[in-house]
Chains A and B, each alone.
Chain A
Amino acid sequence: MLRRVNVRQLTGSDTLVGKTDGQRDAPKFVNLVFGDDREESLLWDWSGIEVATASYFATTIIPLMRMITSGELAKYFLFAGLNKNCLDEFALVLNAEGLVAMLVKLKNEKVASVDLVGKLDPVYANTFREVIRHGAISAAELFKHSQSRGKSQIGKTAWVNRLTGLNRLRLLRKEKVGREFVFRAPFMEV
């Protein structure tokens, strides 16, 4: 399930600056996320936000991202509609905090493309791209694909570790199909 949240409507402002604004709005973000216990993907839509600064992100979104990566919250976050400034500021915080986020572009209300922003080992980033390319895939299938393309030095366990790591970062959803785990992007079922 993908739930879209319009940040402009949620906050009632198009200028979100500093920790003070963040402290004012943080309860709105928290209420929204905790309002539903189900595992779900939340698409934070920042279109209509003119200015959002690093301190604002650090006070509102970052604590929630920490909660989802620590497993306290069964949510997946996607971000859309960030203008250049907002994106630069968001990247500044993500890099400083050692976090990574999914940035999506929408077309006809569907996710048309996805990018990663923040700090992520290139090995993990490549694995993420592989999964997106295939839609849904298991470690065994990735292993087979890599072997067929001459990348046989990557063992099956390495693929398992990478996929599990990406799931822990809440960048991939994991589900059991038969005896193996299949990984997919949180927006793939939409």
Chain B
Amino acid sequence: MQDVIAQTRIHPVGRSIITLMPTSDRYVSIREVEQYQWRVATNDIPLTVPVKGTQLSLAAAIELACFEQFLLHTNDENKLRIRFPTCGVWKLIRSLRWPNGNGTVKENSTVLSVLPQDSGRRSSDSLRSLQTDLRQHGFSHTLAGSLTGAAGEIIDNVFQHSQTELPGLFGYQLSRRKVTFCVADLGVGVLKSLRQNPQYRHLMTSMDALQTAIAPGVSRFDAGGYGFSTLLRSVAELWGKTRLRSGEAVLVFDRETEERRKMHSYLPPFLGVQVSAICRLDPPKKS
């Protein structure tokens, strides 16, 4: 099933039907796409143990929300909607009405904030709250500061590099000794951004761009380009996974085992950049 998903090309047509063109050339309904996306998201980034049925992890939900925006962006009818009525995180995203709505919502251990392009300062409230919550969930003062800085850098990338008027989305979810945070935007993506700098005009694919952008000091500007470096440095000593997605490229830094792995894969192209990081203080329990 995974192989089929990886090879799928998506062509949205009509009001509520998406034509998928997998290797078998079969057509599938929107319901299948929902299931498809859910599987893609949760299988690629198993951030939480799936609860019965239709629960989505925070990263999966934000990924799906971005996917939906991508579909809306490419669908003339603008009638496409992905529904996940029983998923709490999905409902929270819906309640924000992102990317058209505004504000912050909080439910239990999940916080979601819209990041309006005109106000970088407003994100500092979300960061302060993240830092406080981290300390309350077993993270040391130093780690809380480090992860807050990392989240702040990725949020700042939305303001500095997405080059769209559409707001970004920031969310985090805390449980004991574990945090997941995600930042997504619907902007130009890493490839288009970096190619604005003559030094990186040679980059041809999102994968090349993403691989280049994780090095310190790589930016569309002559100065800067430390967001991804800060993120990767901050999470380096924690268990978990960090996932960067832009265009058709996905980079995953897997720290779930003693052996650190960096993996890359390809998915249907997306708008903007999506970053998710899951950080645990303890190693995952062996099944």
Which residues of A pack against B, CB within 8 Å?
13, 15, 17-21, 50-55, 58-59, 62-63, 83-85, 88-89, 92-93, 95-97
Contact = CB atoms under 8 A, between A and B. Distances in A.
Contacts of B230: 53-55, 89, 92
22 contacts: A17-B148, A17-B152, A18-B120, A18-B160, A18-B227, A19-B224, A20-B121, A20-B156, A20-B159, A51-B145, A54-B216, A54-B229, A55-B156, A55-B224, A55-B226, A55-B230, A58-B217, A58-B223, A58-B226, A85-B149, A92-B226, A92-B229
B217 A97 contact: yes
A95 B215 CA distance: 12
Interface in B195-252: 216-217, 223-224, 226-227, 229-230, 233-234
Interface string B125-142: 001100100000000001
B120 A21 contact: yes
Interface centre among A18, A93, A97 (most CB of B within 10 A): A18
For the residues of B in contact with A, the DSSP-based class is: helix
Contacts of A15: 124, 127-128, 131, 148, 152
A17 B145 contact: no
A15 B124 CA distance: 8
B256 interface: no
Contact of B153 (A13, A53, A63, A97): A53
A52 B128 CA distance: 13
A96 B226 contact: yes
A17 to B, nearest CB: 3
Interface in B92-137: 120-121, 124, 127-128, 131
A83 B141 CA distance: 11
Contacts of B159: 18, 20
A55 B216 CA distance: 10
Contact of B224 (A52, A58, A84, A85): A58
For chain B, give the interface size range.
Answer: 20 to 34
A93 B233 CA distance: 12
A84 B142 contact: yes
Given A53-B226, A58-B226, A92-B229, A17 B127 contact: yes
A143 B197 CA distance: 47
Contacts of A62: 223
Given A17-B153, A20-B156, A58-B223, 5 more contacts: A15-B148, A18-B120, A85-B234, A92-B233, A96-B229
A93 B223 CA distance: 10
A55 to B, nearest CB: 5
Contacts of A55: 153, 156, 224, 226-227, 230
B19 interface: no
Given A53-B230, A63-B223, A96-B217, A83 B145 contact: yes
Given A84-B142, A95-B216, A54 B148 contact: no
Contact of B152 (A51, A93, A97): A51
A92 B150 CA distance: 13
A89 B216 contact: no
A15 B153 CA distance: 12
A21 B127 CA distance: 13
Given A55-B226, A55-B227, A88 B128 contact: no
